[in-house]
Amino acid sequence: MLLTFSKTEFRDRIRSGIKVHTIRVDKHNRWKVGNKIHFWLGNPRNTRGKIKPYQFGFGICELVLPIHIYPNENRFIIGDQGEFKTIGSLNELAENDGFDSWEDMKKWFTEDFHGKIIYWKNFELTANDDGSTVF
């Protein structure tokens, strides 16, 4: 499965192990535990974009859960784990998703969101910052 990112900060935080999941719409339930993930900076289907797309790593989908984010109410719900609304849990979700803080994440998720949170394991680097292959 392709997982594309538009921000180089996300690529860097995935590489360093800070970003351990992503939050996406998955209306066709395509994300499954065990799926191989191909991490891309830029969309490989858009070769005319401002960033030349390239794959920078791969991993394995470890866990997929439903998530509901309510940015204007400062709360979220993951699977059957319950509701989270403390500043600590809000910031932890944001940081694990590659943002600096919950306030930073709310700039991305400005409306109520219902989708999936996708965790991965075994991230391996496949390309350098310039897109050249790692051997």
Residue 131: what pLDDT? 63
Interval 95-115 mean pLDDT = 97
3-class SS at 124? strand
Residue 50: what pLDDT? 72
| pLDDT tens digits, 63-101 | 999 999 999 999 999 999 889 999 999 999 999 999 999
Paired tokens of 32? 């499954």
**Distance from C-alpha of 118 to C-alpha of 30, rounded to nearest angstrom:** 11
**Distance from C-alpha of 23 to C-alpha of 97, rounded to nearest angstrom:** 8
What is the band of 122 on the pLDDT scale with cuts at 50, 70, 90?
A: confident
Residue 117: what pLDDT? 98
Buried (b) or exposed (e) across 11-41, using 16+ Cβ within 10 A? bebbeeeebbbbbbeeeeeebeeebebbbbb
